[in-house]
Structure 1
Amino acid sequence: MTKKNHDADVAFIKALAELLRENDLTELQVKRDYSDDDSLNVRVSRHVQQQVVAQVAAPAPAAVAAQAAPAAAPADAAPNDDPANDPGAVTSPMVGTVYMQAEPGADPFISVGKTVAEGDTLLIVEAMKTMNHIPAPRAGTIKRILVEDGAAVEFGTPLVILA
């Protein structure tokens, strides 16, 4: 690749990153073909913190008084039950659709309690008609499966908890 192509590619990637930011996108993938044996395949992604806003009708005055004295949390309750914070969480590396088995009707790759080795396929995330096998980052036992077959996931979505 020539210096001219390199400079143009860097400018192209910067422009993609700007498009990502301006349009509030989480991921963008583009392939440029220069010739039969020369191409550029770029995927630009960013982590976006999602903010959930819930609208709740104002409670009656009696309900407000009942809420004023919150009950103590049970001693065995986890202080933060967010699966993304679990040290065994395996997250999605891309935006796509989750498949739990290689093809419809086949046995799922994993189930709760199953032991997996490092590199074993946990599930598939389809992105842009490409089936991406998500490997186990380490050996362990499947503690929780956090997604359902056919579910849409974002970049960074917790998929599985490994113990």
Structure 2
Amino acid sequence: MSGISFDPDAIRALAQILRDTDLSEIELADGESRLRVSRSAPPPAPVVQYAAAPAPLPSAPAAAPVAAAAPAAVAEVTASTAGAITSPMVGVAYLAPEPGAAPFITLGAKVAAGQTVLLIEAMKTFNQIKAPKAGTVTRILVESGAPVEYGAPLLVVE
């Protein structure tokens, strides 16, 4: 009788492979026997929402205006901004090839046409986003691990 061994040590070894490679599951099949080891995915990155400051109560002293520099900075860069590189898909942006590695680009870096500037992970596939032209990175508009929408500006190369 052939089949997969359900040895606890082998299962632990598969679980360790999941942790080491950051995979979510491994499945082995041999004839009618199947062994699947999976782990839950990490929680999604928190979504940051900006809201207007509430109006002060009549009895409270006037509050200082709330600074909204970050949203305004992103808002002024649109898909039609010269040199803007936009997201070709919905996914999660990564500025480095793997955790702890040096980023693909930094502010002020010179890039060549066709050079990978970041990755977008969509449906468990990492897609290289390449610079459409040579230039200097003047703005980076996303953080590593942040969700991005289709058409959202990611960075500016001038």
- TM-score, normalised with respect to structure 1: 0.52
Distance 1:159 1:57, change over 3 A: same
How many Å apart are 1:105 and its aligned residue? 1.0
Distance 1:55 1:97, change over 3 A: same
How many Å apart are 1:86 and its aligned residue? 1.8
Match of 1:82 in 2: 76
Which consecutive aligned stretches of 4+ in structure 1 deviate over 3 angstroms post-superposition? 54-61
How many Å apart are 1:121 and its aligned residue? 0.3
> What is the CA RMSD across the aligned residues, in angstroms?
2.8
How many angstroms apart in 2 are the aligned matches of 1:115 and 1:56? 39
Residue identity over aligned pairs, in percent, reads: 55
Please state whether the residue corresponding to 1:83 is helix, strand or coil. Answer: coil
Match of 2:146 in 1: 151
How many angstroms apart in 2 are the aligned matches of 1:58 and 1:103? 44
Distance 1:55 1:112, change over 3 A: closer
- TM-score, normalised with respect to structure 2: 0.54
| Equivalent residues in 2 for 1:125-140, closer than 5 Å | 125-140=120-135
Match of 2:101 in 1: 106
How many angstroms apart in 2 are the aligned matches of 1:57 and 1:132? 41
Match of 1:116 in 2: 111
Distance 1:130 1:162, change over 3 A: same
| Equivalent residues in 2 for 1:16-95, closer than 5 Å | 57=54, 82-84=76-78, 85-95=80-90
Please state whether the residue corresponding to 1:161 is helix, strand or coil. Answer: strand
Tell me which protein shows more helix as a share of its residues.
1
How many angstroms apart in 1 are the aligned matches of 2:115 and 2:155? 13
Letter in 2 for 1:97: V
Aligned length, in residue pairs: 98
Distance 1:93 1:59, change over 3 A: same
How many Å apart are 1:58 and its aligned residue? 5.6
Structure 1 segments unaligned to the other structure (5+ residues): 1-53, 64-80
Structure 2 segments unaligned to the other structure (5+ residues): 1-50, 63-74
